Structure 1
């Protein structure tokens, strides 16, 4: 896997492949009115916590850090932990080991797919932050993980997608990126069902 300075639109293709599951996820979350009460918001934080726990190890992978800008600065798990401590008594019960474990070998294309989903979710966080404010929460208490990057959400996203698009991949690696993104969305769908539907 190498850098390809010709932008090939990988991020746009990923968006096209995942738009249906992304839209279903948005509708599933908002159908449960996560911002009607702090109790409901905690359920959303639990979803976020377990998803970001799954990928936390990726932010320390040197090979990924060489490919993606400010990788460590994009990690949101610590902010989510602080948010949970602001609004509840503790962290949710885990459901096994994280998907990616520190010190274990990582398939980089698969990891790129998961990180694409994580970064994309930060774009919609501006919308969610406005709702969190109505609960008395903000980027310094209870909703830190929804705060924008210093350079703004748009530029933060564009620098990520530009780097993602510039990575040269084989057809098999491309397929693994797409499969990683699909697996990430499926994971979040499952967490939404667990915390909001009790399934």
Structure 2
């Protein structure tokens, strides 16, 4: 694992420490060519649906709401579900066979949850490019690609507000390690879903 200067921001450390796992995921997604046609894009949406279903409960955790700005407004699970409906993918019941990673009402480990949310927010930042690809399929932020839409204040500010809050949270070194482990687990989970639908 890379050694990152302790004085560097938590968000920068997370990016550096998870870069290998993140890069492997990105390559796996691009090999699947999710924007080649709507059928492939529907597979991509199923991957997104399961990831956002896994973390949906986190957006209602009071402790996390107190740490991260506009947490509820950052939730994209419903937008992904609507995108699937837009494309006529009605059979999403089959996607619910596995239990969600985080379940409403259950005790969660905050550092681990922060790692998963970091991955979710990072994907929102990078969605600008994906939205352009989706446009070639006749999809946009109001139809079929809602979950790729930017926040009202813009992607950059939305991301900086999140990372500033993440960086300001007081954690021990051991808790910081769990944030990294959470982010790694999130990337690995999405990678498994990519293999599930594209292999």
TM bucket normalised to smaller? over 0.9
Q: CA deviation at 1:162?
A: 0.3
CA distance in 2, matches of 1:130, 1:19: 24
Q: Is the 8 A contact 1:35 1:41 kept in 2?
A: yes
Worse overlay, 70-79 or 30-39: 30-39
SS in 2 for 1:168: coil
Tell me the residue number matched to 2:4: none
Deviation at 1:89, TM superposition (A): 2.9
Q: Map 1:60-71; keep pairs closer than 5 Å.
A: 60-71=60-71
Structure 2 equivalent of residue 131 of structure 1: 133
CA distance in 2, matches of 1:182, 1:55: 14
Figure out how many residues of one structure are paired with residues of the other and give that number: 191
Aligned mates of 1:127, 1:20 — CA distance in 2: 21
Is the 1:8–1:166 contact (alpha carbons within 8 Å) kept by the matching residues of 2? Answer: no
The residue correspondences of 1:107-118 to structure 2 (distance < 5 A) are 107-118=109-120
Q: 2:15 — aligned with what? A: 15
Asked if the contact 2:42/2:89 (under 8 Å) is kept, the reply is no
CA distance in 2, matches of 1:180, 1:93: 22
Q: Which runs of 5+ in 2 are unaligned?
A: 1-6
Matches of 1:21 and 1:127 in 2, distance apart? 20
State the match for 2:25 in structure 1. 25
Alignment match, 2:78: 78
Cα RMSD (Å): 1.0
By how many angstroms is 1:93 displaced?
A: 2.1
Q: CA deviation at 1:31?
A: 1.3
Supply the distance in 2 between the matched residues of 1:133 and 1:174 (Cα, whole angstroms). 39
Q: How big is the shift at 1:8? A: 5.3
What does 1:166-177 correspond to in 2, within 5 Å?
Answer: 166-177=168-179
Task: Give the stretch that moved more between structures: 84-93 or 35-44.
Answer: 84-93
TM-score (norm. length: structure 2): 0.94
- Once the two structures are superposed, what CA deviation does each residue of 1:103-146 show, in whole Å capped at 9, x if it has no partner? 00010000000000000011110000001000000000000000
Q: Which residue is equivalent to 1:38?
A: 38
